[in-house]
Chain A
């Protein structure tokens, strides 16, 4: 059977390229096992997870530069997937480190074995999503990631709002994956293929009913939109972000969004873009759907709603949740351009967003550890009670607004210039107006920290040295990459080519 021989040969290579994911699966299982064996230590599975992530990182590094369609096209290994995998892995490591300092997780003798193990499981799902290029695989990867995140969102079971968050997340998640799989079945009915490359070939050579194709692919995009919390699929975001433990909120707002953007970009590029060799940097759409316009509209809705609603919220976690919705809008702006510059700007912005957003959530967590509140009024005078945190928070907020000399400015600069280069001036104008709105509600936070309750008699907040060192891990790069951004830009530009296999 020659066919089987080819398959086995292919399988051998594929398995070799699957080592990072194997390590993650092992981490997932070992974290649980170590938790069972060493009952005394609550941190042990956290350390196992950290070790596992670092080993994964090493194997991932060895894969840089490979392009391969593995497992009969179910999974693609390329620079694009690699970039997002690194991003997700770094986020996972940072979130595990953050969790070690979290007070809300370490109360009431809570066992944390499942917590760290679920983070590893979720990372596994997101890794698959970055490379998935078959609709079945995309669906499975989204489910793997979702199910772990439902559990993580409700991990503090005794807190009512956490259970509520988890339940809402499950219900919205079930609906959106139902819509998505309906879309997948319609696409299968239209083209007879589930493999994105084959669908692309079919669209290039056959006439397909545009209406049916549009509806079905919009349904699939709705599934991704739910993951990246784009309006109008964002309803779960504020409640889940507010209710979940802060570490998980931070994790969801960065890692699961990254995976969502990775799969959205890959789905659009591989399925709907003409794949003639050599036309790599200019993307020509195959079908009659005006994807630029669809994504641009999504982007405008997302950032406007996110920013406007954020103004009214006084809970900082909720405010950051809306601001992360707005961020999905800015990032979608880069996607809407549908060319390599736009995609590269998304990658650059995501890297920056990871640092500043995780940093901001980390500070919210540190402060909540001491004062037990995330309300913005309780931040009065905190700039004097905890000077280091105050300065770093100001830095992250300036960066989130997108002002120099922080990394956030660089990210925004690249996205806006990509949008303007592609001739979408109106989109860039809306983006800038939105940034002005965001400036208002970010400033309000550090106004409370520095200008209110100045003569406070409340005691200063003390933090341990490791907690401050971890804070520096977020703060210093946010500042450094604002000035010295060459490496990220180069890395993003090298990673942007989605491997099409010719």
Chain B
């Protein structure tokens, strides 16, 4: 096993274990904190894939922004922290059904990833991807870049509308 695989599996284990805690923990604070490790692990995988810009963005936006917001949200809403999340209401039939579906999907995906000849680019790995991303965003993907800003504007106005107190 080379160093690349070792690092990859390390991060993969971190992601899977912490994601499982996010889903299964009954305390919402534990969930929020283990989400930190999930995000961190994903950022690590990005670094491993030479995607430096996305890795930095992942840390800045997800860990620095969204996660802090989630934790603050949980802490400021005093009623949530004390409440245990109920997960016992789903019936046995539903759990069995969901389990079978998840298993089928998992097997399909494993089979798919193991047996497919993926496309390999002839481009050499770059020192840094930021310059290329910048160029692409302002040329070939200019419209997508602009539309994303309209999308965010819509989301902000919508969020403000939902949060507004009744006048």
A32 to B78, CA, bound (A): 34
Chain B residue numbers with a CB within 8 Å of A191 are 119
Partner of B144, one of A18, A117, A136, A157: A136
B162, A189: Cβ atoms under 8 Å?
A: no
Q: Which residue of A lies closest to B142 (CB)?
A: A71
* CB-based nearest A residue for B121: A192
Instruction: State the Cβ distance, B65 to closest chain A Cβ, in Å.
Output: 18
Bound together, the chains give a CA A14 to CA B117 distance in angstroms of 37
B151→A147 contact, CB < 8 A: yes
Cβ contacts A204-220/B at 8 Å (1 or 0 each): 00000101100100000
A interface, by DSSP: helix, strand, loop or mixed? helix
| Contacting residues, chain B, for A111 (C-beta < 8 A) | 167
Residues of B within 8 A of A29 (CB): 153
Interface residues of A in 213-235 (CB under 8 A from B): 215
CB distance from B147 to the nearest CB of A (A): 5
The answer, yes or no, to whether A124 is at the interface (CB within 8 Å) is yes
Give B122's nearest chain A residue, CB to CB.
A192
Within 8 A of B (CB), among A137-183: 137, 140-141, 143-144, 147-148, 150-151, 154, 157-158
Contact B154 A121 (CB under 8 A): yes
Residues of A within 8 A of B147 (CB): 128, 137, 140-141, 144
Interface centre among B118, B119, B154, B167 (most CB of A within 10 A): B154
Q: Give Cα A145 to B142, complex, Å.
A: 19
B118 to chain A, nearest CB (A): 5
Q: Which residues of B contact A70 (CB under 8 A)?
A: 143
- Interface residue A40 (Cβ < 8 Å from any Cβ of B): no
Nearest-Cβ distance from residue A316 to partner chain B, whole angstroms: 28
* Residue from B139, B148, B150, B166 within 8 A of A124 (CB atoms): B150
**Interface pick from B5-13, B28-36, B38-46, B108-116:** B108-116
Chain A residues with CB under 8 A of B118: 189-190
Q: Are B142 and A151 in contact (CB under 8 A)?
A: no
A75 at interface (Cβ–Cβ under 8 A)?
A: yes
Which residues of chain A come closer than 8 Å to B4, judged between CB atoms?
A: none
Q: Is the CB of B158 within 8 A of A158?
A: no
Residues of B within 8 A of A212 (CB): 112, 115-116
Given the contacts A7-B139, A128-B147, A147-B151, A32 and B157 also touching, CB distance less than 8 Å: yes
Q: A72 on the interface (CB 8 Å rule)?
A: yes
Contact status A114-B144, CB under 8 Å = no
Chain B residue, CB-CB nearest to A188: B119
Q: Which of chain A's residues have a CB closer than 8 A to the CB of B162?
A: 151, 154, 157
Q: What secondary structure prevails in chain B residues at the interface with A?
A: helix
B141 touches A (CB below 8 Å):
yes
> In the complex the two chains form, is B151's CB within 8 Å of A144's CB?
yes
Q: Hey, which chain A residues are within 8 Å of B143, CB to CB?
A: 14, 18, 70-71, 74-75, 137
Question: Is B161 an interface residue when CB atoms closer than 8 A count as contact?
Answer: yes
In chain A between 86 and 137, which residues have their CB closer than 8 angstroms to a CB of chain B? 108-109, 111, 114, 117-118, 121, 124-125, 128, 134, 136-137
CA of A449 to CA of B161 in the docked complex: distance in angstroms?
A: 39
A114 touches B139 (CB 8 A): no
Cβ of B23 under 8 Å from chain A = no
Chain B: CB-nearest residue to A11: B142
Give B contacts to A, CB under 8 Å.
Answer: 108, 111-112, 115-119, 121, 139-144, 147-148, 150-151, 153-155, 157-158, 161-162, 166-167
15 pairs, A vs B, C-beta closer than 8 Å: A4-B139, A32-B157, A108-B166, A125-B151, A140-B151, A143-B151, A151-B161, A151-B162, A157-B166, A189-B118, A209-B116, A211-B112, A211-B115, A212-B115, A215-B112
Q: Which residues of A pack against B, CB within 8 Å?
A: 4, 7, 11, 14, 18, 25, 28-29, 32, 70-72, 74-75, 108-109, 111, 114, 117-118, 121, 124-125, 128, 134, 136-137, 140-141, 143-144, 147-148, 150-151, 154, 157-158, 186, 189-192, 209, 211-212, 215
Q: A70-B143, A144-B150, A151-B158 are in contact. List 11 more A-B contacts (CB 8 A).
A: A4-B139, A29-B153, A114-B158, A125-B151, A128-B147, A137-B144, A140-B144, A140-B148, A144-B154, A209-B117, A212-B116
